[in-house]
Every structure is written in C-alpha cells, then in structure tokens.
Amino acid sequence: NAGVTQTPKFQVLKTGQSMTLQCAQDMNHEYMSWYRQDPGMGLRLIHYSVGAGITDQGEVPNGYNVSRSTTEDFPLRLLSAAPSQTSVYFCASSYPGGNEQFFGPGTRLTVL
C-alpha cells in the first residue's frame, strides 16, 4: 500500500494564481482532511470529508475549495493564491473515529 500520497512536494506560485494540491489514499478510508502548518502554530483544519460526495469546512477554509468525487481522492484547490497561504499542507485520512491518522508527506507552498 502507498498509504497517503500528496503531490507536488514543493510549489511556488505568484499572487493570484490558482492550483490544485492532490491527495490520494489507498486504504479505503472514509475520512479525509486537509491541514496547514505554520511556524509557531499547531496544525489547523482547512476542510474535511466523511465520505465521497460529502465535504465540510474546518477552522480556516477561506480561499480553499475541496471536492470528494471518489473515496480515494481529495484535492485541495487554491482559487487565487495569496502570500498568507504560504504554508506546509498536509492531507490525512482515517476511519471515522479511527485509532490512527495517516498523514501524507506534505506540500510546501510558497506564494510570492
């Protein structure tokens, strides 16, 4: 099993550009989530999904969109990148209420 995969690993954008961060898992997990990690702060939840076709907002959803058309994939879209979105982004998956959260390797995004 590949676990949770994320692409790209690194990305540099200019202000106003859009892009999609990809996340996929092969463990048939229903629950998937996106977090951002900023210096001096804990991981913060952006969006999450409890199954295909179901998504909801987390703590910091502004400027991001998600969709969940399949169990495996949960892409995160930046609509119009801003310097405040410079961060490291982690995708995670688990069974709902599961014992273990599985994290992807992260995407380091810089917005100039």
Residues contributing to the site for other proteins (CB under 8 A):
31, 33, 35, 40-45, 48, 50, 58, 88, 90, 92, 94, 96-103, 105-106
CB of 95 to other proteins, least distance (A): 8
Least separation in angstroms between residue 71's CB and other proteins is 14
> Which one-letter DSSP state was computed for residue 73?
B
Query: Which residues have CB under 8 Å from 78's CB, separation 6+?
Result: 13, 18, 19, 20, 21, 63, 64, 85, 109
How would you list the strands of the sheet with 64-66, edge to edge?
A: 4-7, 19-25, 76-78, 64-66
Nearer residue to other proteins within complex by CB, 27 or 43:
43
> Considering beta carbons, is residue 17 or 50 the nearer one to other proteins?
50
Pick 14 or 97: Cβ nearer other proteins:
97
**Amino acid at position 43, single letter:** L
- Supply the minimum distance, in Å, between the C-beta of residue 43 and other proteins: 4
Question: Which residue number, 2 or 14, has a Cβ lying nearer to other proteins?
Answer: 2
